[in-house]
Amino acid sequence: MRILITGAAGFLGSHLCDRLLAEGHQVVGMDNFITGKPENLAHLANNQNFTFIRHDVSAYIFVPGKLDAVLHFASPASPNPASPFGYTNLPIQTMKAGALGTHNTLGVALANQARYLLASTSEIYGDPLEHPQREDYWGHVNPIGPRSVYDEAKRFAEALTMAYHRFHNVNTAIVRIFNTYGPRMHIDDGRVVPNFIHQALQGQPLTIYGDGKQTRSFCYVDDLIDGIVKLLLSKEHEPVNIGNDTETSMNEFAEIINRLTGNTAGVTYLPDRRGEGDPQRRQPDTARARAVLGWQPQVALEDGLQRTIAYFKQAGA
């Protein structure tokens, strides 16, 4: 296939490029480098099956030649207000990527009669009142809170994607991505995995907000990409959760990071961020992915973290 990937220079987008190229597809990457990094694609410079277009998806998109699939992954994704890559510091760009970017990429898919895959997020569930979160749960979201620019952009993007599916018969898919980690994450993007690893490699105590009992479910990037590719090649149109369904508390996670890095500085506790909409629990129900895609995560948490720590060490963290 010939495939357009927006957000191609990002953490997930660049791994998707690698996977699809390795499987023999032609890939057109698109990014404006607001949060994506050119070095994530540097190794593809001489790949004859890869072309790159520097472009903002919120503006009209034209890609010459026939496309068989469009994967819309362009968006800031970090919730941390201290990060320059966080969506609270890029609020308008985030909403435009979710709204205008989705509209423009759906138009490309419609014009090409191509398969369309939207990168959505577990954030559409907000601070959930149901655990684990199933795809038929409608969520518990503050529409005007500091996280709303991302949450509502993705909720709108899902609604628009389904509208194009129902009204224009576009062959669409929606992946709801849960916490994912691995090489090529920004070390200073403010999310817990790079944050903890960076602090640990510097010999600093790991910062935990609240009592550390809040949980996340961490999926290694290779597992996530495998699920996304399986969804792309399937006939599924309904949203599908992709993530690891094993919950880990922040206290447990900090202990693992400190042990794997040999950091003896321990942890430090700061006031919790529940007032900002930071969810207390986040865990996917992956029954649909297992049933429809035959997918389940393969990489154990400590194995994935060792690979990620090695990457950050090499990157000079």
Residue 130 has pLDDT above 90, yes or no: yes
Give the residue-averaged pLDDT of 40-60. Answer: 97
- Backbone dihedral region for residue 115 (phi beyond 0: left; psi -120 to 50: alpha; all else: beta): beta
Residue 189 has pLDDT above 90, yes or no: no
Q: What pLDDT does residue 275 have? A: 54
Give the residue-averaged pLDDT of 96-114. Answer: 98
Say if strands 180-181 and 69-72 run parallel, antiparallel, or are unpaired. Answer: unpaired
Read off the pLDDT band of 80 (50, 70, 90): confident
In a domain, 304, yes or no: no
Q: What is this structure's pTM? A: 0.94
Annotated catalytic, 137? no
Q: What pLDDT does residue 258 have? A: 98
Distance CA 301, CA 284 (A): 16
pLDDT tens string 11-33: 999 999 999 999 999 999 999 99
Cα–Cα distance list, 196 to 79, 96, 260, 261, 298 (Å): 15, 31, 11, 10, 23
pLDDT tens string 235-280: 999 999 999 999 999 999 999 999 999 999 999 999 876 556 677 8
Backbone angles phi, psi at 69, to 5 degrees: -155, 150
In a domain, 308, yes or no: no
Asked if 282 and 179 touch (Cβ cutoff 8 Å), the reply is: yes
In a domain, 250, yes or no: no
Taking all residues of the chain, what is their mean pLDDT, rounded to a whole number?
A: 94
Q: What pLDDT does residue 277 have? A: 61
Q: What pLDDT does residue 279 have? A: 77
Residue 96 has pLDDT above 90, yes or no: yes
Residue 57 has pLDDT above 90, yes or no: yes
- Which range, of 2-11, 19-28, 141-150, 154-163, averages the lowest pLDDT? 141-150
What angle in degrees, to the nearest 10, is found between the helix axes of 301-314 and 192-201?
A: 60
The CATH number linked to 133 is: 3.40.50.720
To which residue do tokens 């601070």 refer? Answer: 127
Which one of 87, 116, 125, 150 is the catalytic residue?
A: 150
Q: What pLDDT does residue 276 have? A: 60
What is the number of domains present in the chain? 1
To which residue do tokens 């277009």 refer? Answer: 53
Q: In which domain, by residue range, is 18 found?
A: 2-185+218-245+284-298
Distance CA 183, CA 185 (A): 6
Cα–Cα distance list, 203 to 207, 208, 264 (Å): 12, 15, 7
